[in-house]
Amino acid sequence: MNKALIAKLTAAVTLVALAGCSGGNPLQSSTTGENSGEIVVGSADFNENVLLAEIYAAALHGAGAKVTKKLSVGTREVIVKGLQDKSLAVVPEYTGNLLAYLDKSATQTQPDEVYNALKSKVPTGLAVLDKAQAEDSDVLVVTEQTATQNDLATIDDLSRKCGGFVLGAAGEWKQRWEAKIKQLYGCTFKSIQTTDAGGPVTVEALKSGQVQVANLFTTASAIDANKFRKLEDTKRMYPAQNVVPLIRSDALNDAQKKALNDVSKALNTDLLTQLVARVEVDKENAADVAADFLRDAGIPS
């Protein structure tokens, strides 16, 4: 056997041996955070969630963790998969929406009921820490003028006027909530106009008078910026949406869990609304806003 052939055979055997050791695609990156001591904090792709992830990441750093951030990674489906495959360790979540994702038949609406149900539905290997008082839930709003002229403060008040008002909301609102608002409040709108999910199209439709009622979210900076009035959901049509850390169960030590629980303890809806406005309206850097929040709350970063 000549030397050239021996060299080729040796190289081939070496490649086979290396492939057997790797056990996978050599182009696929290794699982970040697993066995590396890193805590990978992820977020969904919207400003508030990115801000919350920045807060979590800085608080974990203050508790001695080596932190990596993967922000705006995608939808809830992507995020939960990331926790389960250990490419993520911590993400900010919302109790009601996460419960609905994990249990399509869930009917709980009150904050503690939703949270307790959620704890029992979280998949094996994952966990939720303490929920914050802060919520980012659906809310019906009207202009200041409409509220004053019609004496509106609650959805109960609105129910007397629904027949003369057009609602602006995302396309799925009609399917999810039209029957529910009629059942709980006796409210049937004159019509429901599809706008967007609490974004600029909905805001502009309300400002222009194209709709008289709009579905936004409680921490939306547009509410205060335009002096819209939130209508209190006295019968809790919308489920609670408390901010909560969703974590991989094996990812954090006790001190790191305490740091995130301290964040939850310090975070309320009004404060979260102010922080989001600094990012969305004042165009401040989310990491800087997060650092200010933690400093004011006395949480190390």
> For the chain, what is the mean pLDDT?
89
Could you say which DSSP state residue 56 is in?
Answer: H
Judged against a pLDDT cut of 70, whether residue 276 lies above it is answered with yes
Whether 131 and 265 have beta carbons less than 8 Å apart is answered as no
Report the DSSP pairing between strands 66-74 and 38-44. Answer: parallel
pLDDT of residue 36: 53
Whether 244 and 93 have beta carbons less than 8 Å apart is answered as yes
Judged against a pLDDT cut of 50, whether residue 160 lies above it is answered with yes
C-alpha distances in angstroms, 147 versus 153, 189, 228?
A: 7, 16, 9
Tell me the average pLDDT across 130-149: 97
HEC per residue, 177-212: HHHHHHHHHCCCCCEEEECCCCCHHHHHHHHHCCCC
Q: Where does 38-135+241-297 sit in CATH, by number? A: 3.40.190.10
pLDDT of residue 6: 39
pLDDT of residue 17: 39
End-to-end CA, the chain: 66
Judged against a pLDDT cut of 60, whether residue 280 lies above it is answered with yes
Tokens of 41: 């904090």
The ranges assigned to domains in the chain are 38-135+241-297, 138-231
pLDDT of residue 187: 98
Closest to 91 (Cα-Cα) out of 51, 38, 34, 37:
51
Judged against a pLDDT cut of 70, whether residue 246 lies above it is answered with yes
Q: Is the pTM of this model over 0.85?
A: no
pLDDT of residue 60: 98
Judged against a pLDDT cut of 50, whether residue 137 lies above it is answered with yes
Confidence band (pLDDT; 50, 70, 90) for 217? Answer: very high
Tell me the average pLDDT across 5-17: 40
Confidence band (pLDDT; 50, 70, 90) for 197? Answer: confident
What CATH homologous superfamily does 138-231 map to?
Osmoprotection protein (prox); domain 2 (3.40.190.120)
On the question of a common fold for 38-135+241-297 and 138-231, the answer reads yes
pLDDT of residue 257: 98
Whether 211 and 146 have beta carbons less than 8 Å apart is answered as no
Q: Give the SS3 label for residue 165.
A: coil
Tell me the average pLDDT across 72-82: 94
